[in-house]
């Protein structure tokens, strides 16, 4: 049964939202092909342990599927070129760049795993519709099915405009980063995600609301619905509810016997393609951590080597993130022979922000700074382990758990101007296949069994207050404070990696890499003549004299005299407050400088 727009009476009823879901084609394989174009013309598989986690479309022609055993893959395609994909660094970097490109449209972007993003373009579509002759707007890409009713709420036109924006986004990702992608366009996240792969690779599909129910009934398993996990699936199967169509037919009363009332209603809604969950802007993680697991380590010097390698790797991630860490946590997993089990213990210490320095807007750590960090790490280790007795570890972990809000002190003008394009270094990627074969994954690490904060090592500076920028930007964009991404609300996620990934560590020189995350400004023009307003905004707001760390939008909103003063300050840094200094010094503004506009917090 198809449900027309007028039949809806939930939050989806007006189909008012415009949601795009973008998924990169054969992601890991494309990253490798962009790095080495010779791989484009051969069947390519990405190997982790004994599994081919993904392959390019050339290889898929032979029947290679995700998560096939390498031995099986080679049977169906003996020419398969295998590239080791156990070091996730390049994939993570590519993922962050794609996210940064999507941020350019100034709409909420929610990252999902490594190669997927939701974008809520509702407001942008509304703006465009004011200046468009809507009767002329055509659909870009495919429609799951042609509109079958004339929906009075106008969703068909809005979704056509959305399809044009999706096409611009995909074009820009391709022009800037050379990745082809698929997109799904719908009035909610559920349908946008599920419709996305309909025309793989490198194409996009729009589904109109009235086809939600019939499309959902084509899904073989309730497990295909993203928010239905393995436990719910099991519970449904035990009630003979296997396909989505079964779920559509199940009575609410029966479901209420096995699930809470809310859950039962939600399941029924999902089965007909209803979903009112919002697109939540992804921000920076609360902590950035790495872990290394191994069979057993029982010698202190070996532990030190492991931590040294982890620290090098972690500093690369922190540099990409751009925030200055002020707290460090060490985690160990001890093998307990008596209990035949392992458990984690952690200890953390505040660290001095002065260990880190800013050079041209990029974070750096000197060799002496790294040595200081190592000393803190080994002191924490000594507190966790009684070295007078034998010890057996199966995992060591390091995480920076708190960050200074901004680099130059809370009162500094720089706090208002920093680019907010974030690099989320840590992700949650849930592998659908059995990942037990691989010791690398992105699952969020549960909080340690015991964490102690150690203040004895601290060279403590006063912890900065919540930055004013959040409130200020919120006002400028007419958003509530809660709608602005705040690091404090974000999930803690960490990355586990194995020793193989650490072999690469020595190649990663903290000071030798560019931080080029801001997307290149090249407008994506499409057949919808003025759909690129936000893209143009991106360029017009640019200020040639601004240092790279400055948020151009914020800068352009400042009064002219303030802009001039800042530019003069950047031209002549000796008069500037912008160089790294302690919060105490940043407040000493001269009587007639930019600082007069900002009264420091008392
Ligand atoms: N991945 C993984 N294990 C899985 C599934 C995926 O490690 N079970 C990794 C490899 C993929 C990446 O995550 O490249 C993205 O997953 P997708 O499911 O989006 O698969 P692809 O992007 O590779 O292919 P598609 O073109 O089907 O999207
Ligand atoms: Mg993909
Ligand atoms: Mg994906």
Confidence (pLDDT) at 249 = 98
Indicate which residue of 32, 58, 86, 116 is catalytic.
116
Domain end among 215, 231, 251: 215
Strand-pair partners of 184: 21, 205
Chain centre distance of CA 536: 25
66: left (phi over 0), alpha (psi -120 to 50) or beta: beta
CATH number at residue 35: 3.30.70.270
In the Cβ-directed half-sphere of 297, how many Cα atoms lie within 13 Å?
20
User: Of 185, 215, 245, which residue is a domain's last?
Assistant: 215
Higher pLDDT, 150 or 430: 150
C-alpha 76/C-alpha 82 separation (Å) is 14
Question: Please, is 296 exposed, middle or buried when counting C-beta atoms within 10 Å of its C-beta (0-12, 13-18, 19+)?
Answer: exposed
Q: What is the pLDDT of residues 260-288, one digit of tens each?
A: 999 999 999 999 999 999 999 998 888 99
Report the Cα 9 to chain-centroid distance in Å.
33
Terminal C-alpha separation, the chain: 64
DSSP string covering 462-496, please? PPPPPPHHHHHHHHHTT--GGGS--GGGSPP--EE
Name which residue sits closest to atom 5 of ligand 1, judged by CA: 431
201 lines ligand 1 (CB under 6 A): yes
**pTM score, whole prediction:** 0.61
What ligand 1 atom has the least distance to the C-alpha of 200?
26
- Give the pLDDT of residue 480: 34
Q: Is 49 in the pocket of ligand 1 (CB under 6 A)?
A: no
Whose Cα sits closest to atom 28 in ligand 1? 25
116 catalytic residue (yes or no) = yes
Q: What are the phi and psi torsion angles at 171 (to 5°)?
A: -65, -45
How many domains are contained in the chain? 3
Residues 25 and 95 reside in one and the same domain? yes
Same domain for 233 and 198? no
Domain co-membership, 190 together with 249: no
| Tokens coding 392 | 């057996």
Using a CB cutoff of 8 Å and minimum separation of 24, what contacts does 257-260 make? 259/232, 259/235
- Using the 3D structure, point to which of 215, 231, 255 is the last residue of a domain: 215
Domain that holds residue 222: 217-271
Tell me, yes or no, whether 422 lies in a domain: no
Residue 138 lies in a domain: yes
Q: Is the domain of 80 the same as that of 224?
A: no
Residues 223 and 85 in one domain: no
In a domain, 40, yes or no: yes
Question: Can you read off the two tokens belonging to residue 469?
Answer: 């920028």
Q: Are residues 181 and 56 in the same domain?
A: yes
- Does 54 share its domain with 166? yes
In this structure, is residue 44 part of a structural domain?
yes
| CB 431 near ligand 1, within 6 Å | yes
Question: For residue 464, what pLDDT band results from cuts at 50, 70 and 90?
Answer: very low
Q: Has residue 446 been placed in a domain?
A: no
Alpha helices in 106-221 (DSSP H): 122-131, 155-177, 189-195, 212-216
Q: What pLDDT was estimated at residue 3?
A: 39
Please compute Rg for the chain using Cα positions. Answer: 26
- Co-location of 244 and 210 in the same domain: no
Q: What is the mean pLDDT of the chain?
A: 75
Q: Are residues 122 and 29 in the same domain?
A: yes
Residue 378 lies in a domain: no
Q: Sign of torsion, CA 267 273 276 279?
A: positive
């Amino acid at each position: 049964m198809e449900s027309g727009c007028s039949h809806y009476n939930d939050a989806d009823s007006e189909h008012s939202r415009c949601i795009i879901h973008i998924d990169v084609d054969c992601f890991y394989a494309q990253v490798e092909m962009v790095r080495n174009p010779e791989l484009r013309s051969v069947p390519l598989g990405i190997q982790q342990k004994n599994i081919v986690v993904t392959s390019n479309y050339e290889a898929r022609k032979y029947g290679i599927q995700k998560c096939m055993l390498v031995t099986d893959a080679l049977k169906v395609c003996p020419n398969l070129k295998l590239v080791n994909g156990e070091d996730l660094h390049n994939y993570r970097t590519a993922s962050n760049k794609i996210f940064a490109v999507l941020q350019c449209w100034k709409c909420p972007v929610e990252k999902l795993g490594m190669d997927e993003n939701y974008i809520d373009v509702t407001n942008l579509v509304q703006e465009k519709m004011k200046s468009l002759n809507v009767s002329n707007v055509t659909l870009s890409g495919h429609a799951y099915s042609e509109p079958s009713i004339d929906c009075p709420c106008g969703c068909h036109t809005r979704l056509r405009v959305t399809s044009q924006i999706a096409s611009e986004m995909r074009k820009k990702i391709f022009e800037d980063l050379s990745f082809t992608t698929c997109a799904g366009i719908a009035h909610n996240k559920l349908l946008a995600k599920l419709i996305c792969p309909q025309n793989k690779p490198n194409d996009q599909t729009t589904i109109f609301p009235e086809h939600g129910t019939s499309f959902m009934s084509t899904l073989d398993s309730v497990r295909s619905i993203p928010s239905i996990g393995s436990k719910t699936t099991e519970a449904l199967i035990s009630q003979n509810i296997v396909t989505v169509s079964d779920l559509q037919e199940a009575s609410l009363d029966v479901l209420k016997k096995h699930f809470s009332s809310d859950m039962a209603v939600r399941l029924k809604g999902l089965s007909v393609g209803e979903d009112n969950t919002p697109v939540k802007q992804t921000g920076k993680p609360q902590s950035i951590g790495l872990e290394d697991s191994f069979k057993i380590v029982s010698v202190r010097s070996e532990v030190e080597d492991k931590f040294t390698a982890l620290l090098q790797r972690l500093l690369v991630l922190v540099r990409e993130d751009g925030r200055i860490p002020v707290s460090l946590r060490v985690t160990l997993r001890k093998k307990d022979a008596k209990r035949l089990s392992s458990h984690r213990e952690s200890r953390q210490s505040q660290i001095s922000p002065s260990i880190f320095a800013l050079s041209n807007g990029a974070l750096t750590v000197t060799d002496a700074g790294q040595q200081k960090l190592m000393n803190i790490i080994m002191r924490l280790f000594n507190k966790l382990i009684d070295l007078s007795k034998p010890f057996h570890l199966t995992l060591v972990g390091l995480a920076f758990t708190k960050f200074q809000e901004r680099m130059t002190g809370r009162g500094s003008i720089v706090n208002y101007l920093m680019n907010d394009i974030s690099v989320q270094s840590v992700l949650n990627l849930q592998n659908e296949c059995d990942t037990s074969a691989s010791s690398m994954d992105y699952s969020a690490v549960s909080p340690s069994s015991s964490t102690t904060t150690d203040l004895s090592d601290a060279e403590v500076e006063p912890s900065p207050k919540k930055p004013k920028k959040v409130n200020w930007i919120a006002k400028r964009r007419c958003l509530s404070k809660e709608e602005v991404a705040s690091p404090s609300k974000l999930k803690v996620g960490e990355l586990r990696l194995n020793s193989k990934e650490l072999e690469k560590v020595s190649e990663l020189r903290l000071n030798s890499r560019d931080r080029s995350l801001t997307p290149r400004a090249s407008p994506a023009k499409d057949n919808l003549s003025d759909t690129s307003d936000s893209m143009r905004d991106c360029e017009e707001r640019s200020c040639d004299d601004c240092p790279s760390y400055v948020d151009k939008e914020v800068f352009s909103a400042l009064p002219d005299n303030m802009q001039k003063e800042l530019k003069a300050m950047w031209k002549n840094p000796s008069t500037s407050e912008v160089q790294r200094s302690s919060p105490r010094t940043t407040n000493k503004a001269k009587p007639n400088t930019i600082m007069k506009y900002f009264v420091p917090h008392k």
